[in-house]
Every structure is written in structure tokens, then in C-alpha cells.
Structure 1
Amino acid sequence: MNAQISNLARIASAPSRIIIGLMSGTSMDGLDIALCEFTGAGLNTQVKVLHFITMAYTESFKEELKSVSFKSRVELEKVTLLNAVIGTYSAKLILQALDQWRYPLASVDLIASHGQTIYHAPVSLHQHKDFPNATLQIGDGDHIAVKTGVITISDFRQKHIAGGGEGAPLAVYGDYLLFSSPEENRILLNIGGISNFTYLPSGRNPDQVFSTDIGPGNTLMDQYVQLNYPGKYYDKDAGLAKQGKPNRELVKALLNHPFFKQPFPRTTGPELFNLSYLLEAQKISGQLSVSPEDVLASLCEFTASCIVDAIKLAINQQSFQVYISGGGMHNPLLLQKISEGLGSELLNTQDLGVDPDAKEAVLFALLANECVAGGQTDFGQRRGIPNVTMGKISLP
């Protein structure tokens, strides 16, 4: 037997595993790195987050990522080069994080890498006849495995599509295994570049669970800030939006899109919700002269309205507790609007034992744990949640 296969079998059968989870989202601000200890698998999964850090990307690297992301036409050579560069850069950041933590590389069993999404194309978005759902994440796992010497599991979304899903959101798998409750009805709300939630009614019945993208999270607000406020990448503490007032006509136009009438689960990305989408809404509503602060206040109102409407539709007047995670949880104005719209207090996943900033990286580490040690859980028969084991395995 190949020595690496033998090592993988040992890892899979061990009582516990040390797995590094990596996540780089549509905000492209840095690489989330979560060092996790897993025991068990499936509904018996237990995880302890040993360390977490976000390693900030250099400005030049961010610009390289933006040059190939969420555009229907890009330079193929640049995509090819960045596929290798991102993998190598990720490995470098992992080694730096381990050095900061003084944690031995030899003790790490697996690395789980989400990669960098550069284009997400469900049928509902691309609408090309005879073409399937598709998505593309770059940052090849082989480069991470070779540069670190650690078995790497990556490219999780392709199996989801092959199994009949849309490639997103994948949070439902980890949310169900880690956070579902026999007694409490829960909504796990994640606000990254795109907002999504997992619906977890009490009882842990997989046929009642689903996860769906909602619409924009931070992406439109961040893009607008970067265009209109040089040197800023996001509206820190909603300081700019708080200076403005929501423009009702603009918000109404932003909400008027067929995407919001699609049934759950649905997926989307910055391919739809971008500055062109905002400009079109401004033209339709006759609000091209709105001040930047009022635009940001309107985008915050729009984002909150999308989230509130989607959650209300899902819970259908039942009593639920909402647990929030993702970068949007640091926007106090957005959280205030969501809480007021739902008429309830928002908790975060720290109340369930997982740092909300680390949650997405932890969930991909969990998918890697399932890939090697699980794969037995029935996730039910809900549309968009295929019963598949995700991840491609790269040996050092």
C-alpha cells in the first residue's frame, strides 16, 4: 500500500483528528485559518477550536483576486496562474499561523481548503440552455499539500453540483451536525459577502432541514465603499451609513428582482449583486443623485430587509432562535435592523461553542472530517441537499 494511503487510513480510523480549516470569502480580505480538534463523525461530531486567525491579504494580492472574480470574461492565463499562486500563498499563511501559535506542523492531520470562488453560476443565474449548475474555486489543493507536507482536502463544491445541488450553500451539512437541537428551533444566519441561513427545526429530522442563500450580505456595501471612499474597504461600525437615511424608492427598486421570488433553497453571488445591480436600481427609481451616505443607508436597509423577509418566510410564525456569524455581525446598524425586523434578540454561534468569525473555516474542516471518517449521515430528501461526501484528496 502507498505510504500516504496508509497514513490516510490511520487518520480516518483514529479517535481524534487535528484539522486546519481554510476559508476565503467573497470579501477577499484575508484567509481564515481555524485549527480544530475533531472527535467522532456525523451527529456524534465534537469539535474544539484550538486556534483561529485571519491572515490579511496584501493589497496587491487582493487586486489580483479582484481582476479575475465574478466577471463573465477574464484573462485565462491569469486564472491559470492564480490557481497555483493561491494554493502556494495559502500554504505560506498556514505555516506562518502555526509558527505564531507555536503549534507543530507534524501534529496536523489534514488541511481543508475551500479555495477562492471566482465565479458561481447556477442555472438560475446563467440561464444557458443545456448547461448545468456550475461553480469555480481556485487555489489548487496539491500545492497546499506539497508545500506543507499535509494531506489536503479541497474543492468541496463540485461534488455537491455533481450530486444535483447548486454548489452552495454548503453550511447546512456542518450546521446540522454541529448545531441542530432536539429541543430548540434554530436559524443559523451567516452574513458574509452573501447572506445565507440554515433552517434547523427541533428534533434533528433531516427531512425538515435546509440551507439557502438569501441575497447580499456585505458585498454591495463593501463594493460601494471601495468605489467611493478611497483607502476604505468597508463601512467600519456602519459609521458612514449612520450619517445617511434610507431612500425608500431605491430600496424598493433593489428588492424588485426575480431572485427574491425563487423557492428555497436558492444560490447567488456577486455575479448578480454588484455595483451594476445598484446602478440599474438607481436608474429605475430615479435616484441617481442620492448622496453616498444615503446610498449606504439604503444598501443596509436592503440587506436587512432581504434577511428578515427570508427568515420570516422560513419560520412561518414559529418560535425560533437566530444565531449569527460572519463579517456582517460586526455591522451594528445591520444587526439592529434585523433584530427589529424579526422582533427578537440575535445571539451568535459563540453561544453554541464556536467563534462566529471562525465558523465557516470550522465547517470546511468538518467536511474534511466527514470525508475521511464519516459519510454515513442521512441528510434527508430535501431539494438541494444531496447525500454526498465532498472534497478531493491531495497527497503530499
Structure 2
Amino acid sequence: MNSNWKQLFEILQKPTRLIIGLMSGTSLDGLDIALCSVKGAGPATNIKVLEFTTVPYTEEFKIEVKSVFSKRAADLQMICLMNEKIGLQHAELVLEALKSWGRTADEIDVIASHGQTIFHAPETLHGLIDYPNATLQIGDGDHIAVKTGIITIADFRQKHLAAGGEGAPLAVYGDYLLFSKAGEDRIMLNIGGIANFTYLPGDNDAKKVFSTDVGPGNTMMDQYIQQQYSGLYFDENAAIASQGVVNEALLTVLLENEFLAADFPKTTGPELFNLHYLSAAQAKSGTSNLKQADVLATLCACSARIIVNAIQQCFGTSAKPYIYMSGGGMHNPLLVSMLKAGLPEAKFGTTADLGIDPDAKEAVLFALLANETLVGEKTDFGDREGVPSIRMGKICLPD
């Protein structure tokens, strides 16, 4: 038997697998690395985070990724080069993390790599009649597997597209398996560059589970900070935005977009919500000369209003869900206060209350998805658009 398949067969028989989940989001701040101990599969999955770290990217590396990130006209040679370089860089960071944890590559069964999204193009955004939904993540899984010597499962989003989805959000699969609770309606709210949530019904019926992007989370705030303030990548603790005043004229125009009014499920990205979107809204509202703090306060209010409107659209203004947050936006006190004011009947917490570090959640998700690729049976999510009943990921062998 081929030695790689023999090793895979042995991994499949293990009662507990050690899986490293990797996540690099649209904020481009660094690589999340979560070492997880995983038992079982499907609804019986038991996952424990043994180690977690976020390794910041160097300024040079950020610049290289940004040169091909979210651009319709990008250098094709640079995309090819960065596909390989990101894979090699992520592999190196994994090896460094293992060393710092006192572990060796031989101990790890599988790496689950999300890669780096550089462009997201669902039909709702590209508008081209004869073309399908599309998304592109780079950071080649074979490079990770060969450099680390660890079997790597990567490129998860393509199966979602092939099965009729938009390639996002994938959180629904992990959220249902990890966080459902009988008798409690839950909303798993992730506020990254883009905000998305999963609805988990209290009756644990997978066919009722609902997941969707809702609009910008941190992306426009972060882009504006990077444009206006040299050396800053985000407004830490909303220090600048908290000094500003929300401009209602600008806010009104920011909320005028077909995507925001579209039915769920839907997906989006910084391809739509970016500095061009902001400047067009400022021009239309006559607010091009606003103070920087006022712009940031208004962008924060925009993200909050979009999230609140989406939750109310789904569950009504009188709903009393349990909302568990994750993602960088949960560290923005101004944004969180706006959410609580907009949803006064909801009970807010973070995934830490459920045993998972919220900063590690997305990396843990991909470890779980890899486990499902290996040993899971398909969970039946019904026939609803956007949630195909599939297992995802391509297996990359070390040799």
C-alpha cells in the first residue's frame, strides 16, 4: 500500500486526532494557528484547543499580499508567486509554533489550511450572466504538506461552490456541530472584515440552521485607518471613533445598497465594501470634509446598524436570542455598545462562554472541517440555498 494512504488509514482509525487549524482573514494581520484534539465526528464531535497563537505578519509580507488582494486588475505573475510564497510562509510559521509548544511534526495528524482569500466573486457581485459563483484562496496546500511533512487538507471553499453555494460563509458547518444547544436559540456572530452570523435553533434541527454574510464588519474602518493614519492598521479599542460623532447624512447613504436589502443567504467582501464605497457615499451626502473621528464613528455605526437590521429581519424586533460573538470586532467597545443598544432584548456573550477562545474560533472551524473530511458523515442541512450538505477540502500529501 502507498505509504501516504497507509498513514491516512491509520489516522482514520484513531480515537483522537491532533489537527492544526490555520486561518488568515481579510484583515491580513497574521496567521491564527490552533492545535486541536478532536474526538468523534458530526454532532458527536468533541474538540479541545490545546494550543493557540496568532503570528503577526511582517510589514513587507502584508504589502506583498495587499498587492494582489481584492483587486480586479492584479499582476498575474505576482498571484502565482504569492500562491507559493504564502504556502511556504504558513508552513514555516507552523513549524515555529510547534517548536515553541515543545512538539514535533510527527505528533500532528493533519493540518487544515484555509489559505488567504484574495478575491470573492459571487454572482450577486460580479453580475455576469454566463459565469458562476467564484472565490479564490491562495497559499498552496502541497507546499505546506511538503515543507512540514504533515498531511494537509486545504482549499475548502471550492466544494461549497461546486455544490451550489457561494463559497461562504462556512461557519454554519462548525457552528452547528460545536455550539448547538437544545432549548436555546443561538446566534453565532462573527465580526471580521465582513460580519456574518449563524442561527442555531433550540430544537437542534439542522434543516433550520441559517448562515449568511450581512455586510461590512471591520473592513471599511480598517481600510480608512490605514489610509489616514500612518503605521496604524486598526482603531484599537475604538480610541479614535469614540471621539467622533455619527453623521446621519453619511450613515443614511452608506446603508443604501442593493446587497444590504437582498434576501438571505448572501455573501460579500471588500470587493464591494471599501474606500471607494465610502468616498462615493461621502460625495453623495456632501460629507467629504468630515473630521476623521466622525468618519470612523459613522463607519462603526454603519456596521452596527447592518448587523442589528439583519438579526431583526430574520427574527423580529422582539426576539431574545443568545448572541455569541467572535472575530476582531468583538474587541471594539463602541461597536459592541451600539449592538447592545440596538438589540436590548438579546443576551450577549462570546464563544469563550462556550469553551472556545473567540480569537481561535475560525482556525478551530477549519480543524473541525478537516476532521469531517476524514471521518464525518454528511449532515443533512436540507435543500436550502447556500447550505449544501457536503464535506469539503482537498487532501495534499507530503510526498
- TM bracket, shorter-chain basis: over 0.9
Match of 2:351? 349
TM-score (norm 1): 0.99
1:204 paired to 2:204: yes
* 1:210 shift after superposition: 1.2
State how far apart, in whole Å, the 2-side matches of 1:275 and 1:373 are. 43
Aligned counterparts, 1:80-99, within 5 A:
80-99=80-99
State how far apart, in whole Å, the 2-side matches of 1:308 and 1:376 are. 32
Match of 2:324? 323
Q: CA offsets, 1:300-322, max 9 Å, x none?
A: 00000001111111222332100
- The answer to whether the 8 A contact 2:320-2:347 is kept is no
* 1:220 shift after superposition: 0.3
- The answer to whether the 8 A contact 1:208-1:382 is kept is no
Structure 1: which amino acid aligns with 2:336?
A: L
- The answer to whether the 8 A contact 2:208-2:381 is kept is no
1:252 paired to 2:241: no
State how far apart, in whole Å, the 1-side matches of 2:8 and 2:218 are. 38
Select 1:365's aligned residue among 361, 364, 367.
Answer: 367
* 1:137 shift after superposition: 0.2
State how far apart, in whole Å, the 2-side matches of 1:202 and 1:346 are. 17
Structure 2: which amino acid aligns with 1:43?
A: P
* 1:379 shift after superposition: 2.1
Aligned counterparts, 1:143-222, within 5 A:
143-222=143-222
Aligned counterparts, 1:228-267, within 5 A:
228-267=228-267
State how far apart, in whole Å, the 1-side matches of 2:347 and 2:43 are. 28
Unaligned runs of 5+ in 1: none
Q: What RMSD over aligned residues (CA atoms) do the two structures have, in Å?
A: 0.8
Structure 2: which amino acid aligns with 1:306?
A: I
Aligned counterparts, 1:129-148, within 5 A:
129-148=129-148
Match of 1:333? 334
* 1:345 shift after superposition: 3.8
State how far apart, in whole Å, the 1-side matches of 2:329 and 2:377 are. 32
* 1:16 shift after superposition: 1.0
Partner secondary structure for residue 176 of structure 2:
helix
Partner secondary structure for residue 67 of structure 2:
helix
State how far apart, in whole Å, the 1-side matches of 2:96 and 2:247 are. 46
Match of 1:382? 384
* 1:104 shift after superposition: 2.4
Match of 2:127? 127
* 1:145 shift after superposition: 0.1
Partner secondary structure for residue 161 of structure 1:
helix
Partner secondary structure for residue 131 of structure 1:
coil
State how far apart, in whole Å, the 2-side matches of 1:163 and 1:13 are. 28
- The answer to whether the 8 A contact 2:207-2:380 is kept is no
Structure 2: which amino acid aligns with 1:346?
A: F
Runs of 4+ aligned residues of structure 1 deviating over 4 Å after TM superposition are none
State how far apart, in whole Å, the 2-side matches of 1:354 and 1:4 are. 32
Match of 2:278? 278
Partner secondary structure for residue 68 of structure 1:
coil
Match of 1:15? 15
State how far apart, in whole Å, the 2-side matches of 1:21 and 1:379 are. 24
State how far apart, in whole Å, the 1-side matches of 2:349 and 2:76 are. 43
TM-score (norm 2): 0.98
Match of 1:30? 30
Structure 2: which amino acid aligns with 1:329?
A: M
Structure 2: which amino acid aligns with 1:245?
A: V
Q: CA offsets, 1:224-283, max 9 Å, x none?
A: 000001011100100000111000000000000000111111000000000000000001
Match of 1:51? 51
How many residues are paired up? 396
